[in-house]
Amino acid sequence: MDRRIAFVTGASRGIGAATSLALAERGYDIVVTARTLREGEGPERGADGRPIAGSLETTAARIRERGREALPLPLDLLDSGSIEAAVADTEKRWGPVELLINNGIYQGAGTMAHVLDLEVEEFERLYRGNVTAPVFLAQRVLPGMLAMGRGGIVNLVSEAGMTNPGAPAGRGGWGFAYASSKAALQRLVGVLAAEHPDSGLRFLNVQPGFTITESMRARGIRDQFQMRGAPPEVCAEVIAWLVTDPRGAEWQGRSVHSQKLCEELGLLPDWPPPAQ
């Protein structure tokens, strides 16, 4: 069989990095993309002002430790040129992409803005990063998947795009711009499943739930909240199961809550931890 290639956005840390490793363990070579190529270069900072740990080079090294190949490529979701360059580079070096994991998101100005305070430019930027970019990626890689007759697209979605907030943004709720962008992305897989019903491809949404990432720890999340969250590996194992296990086809065009499915299937032996 030809080499199996997965293309993962937001792969410098968190769910993206964990998913890259889970797929590598199942025989995929991984194209890891994000803005942070090397440790210390990224724009994100922790509560102490230092760069948050995680980079494409680090994720790539961990993939290679698992016996698979890794191709780290810088990618900015707001820059269609960098998206095109990353896909073109992948196809030139390795060939067509079999799996697209749309994990990366844009969280900038306007993410938590109230409707009356939301600037049009902020709104458009959020949609460019969270809707336009993943759709463009799907457009670029889907023809190759259809030609192979295998593969699929997994979008990471959010409860914010599915339900009403219990409070305003900044007081336990979420902003309209972010929530609506995730709601828009959620519709993509159902449409793709309807457009390509006999393709052999899988089109799925995964909702990770409250997940404790390196970024959250670096920003000083409190211990009581950490106890309520799941590690990134929970979502990663569910994604890997959905795209490799025959039973994953039952979720075609639908949204999966990763924490519930992980617990039901027992994908991580030590999770969830015993109740205290």
43, 44, 219 from 49: Cα distances, Å: 11, 9, 9
End-to-end C-alpha distance for the chain, whole angstroms: 47
Please give the structure tokens belonging to residue 156: 């990471």
158, 196, 242, 274 from 103: Cα distances, Å: 11, 22, 15, 29
Tell me the C-alpha distance between 116 and 167, whole Å.
Answer: 16
Tell me the C-alpha distance between 254 and 189, whole Å.
Answer: 7
Tell me the C-alpha distance between 214 and 25, whole Å.
Answer: 22
φ and ψ of 201, to 5 deg: -95, 160
Output the pLDDT for position 227.
53
Domain 5-109+132-164+180-265 sits in CATH 3.40.50.720 = yes
- The answer to whether the Cα torsion of 6, 9, 11, 17 is positive or negative is negative
Residues of the chain falling short of pLDDT 70: 1, 42, 45-48, 51, 214-228, 275-276
Residue type, 35: R
Domain ranges of the chain: 5-109+132-164+180-265
| DSSP letters for 203-227 | EEEEE--SB--HHHHHTT--HHHHT
Tell me the C-alpha distance between 252 and 93, whole Å.
Answer: 30
What sections of the chain are H helices per DSSP?
A: 14-24, 56-65, 80-93, 120-127, 133-148, 176-195, 214-218, 223-226, 232-244, 258-265
Output the pLDDT for position 89.
99
Output the pLDDT for position 224.
43
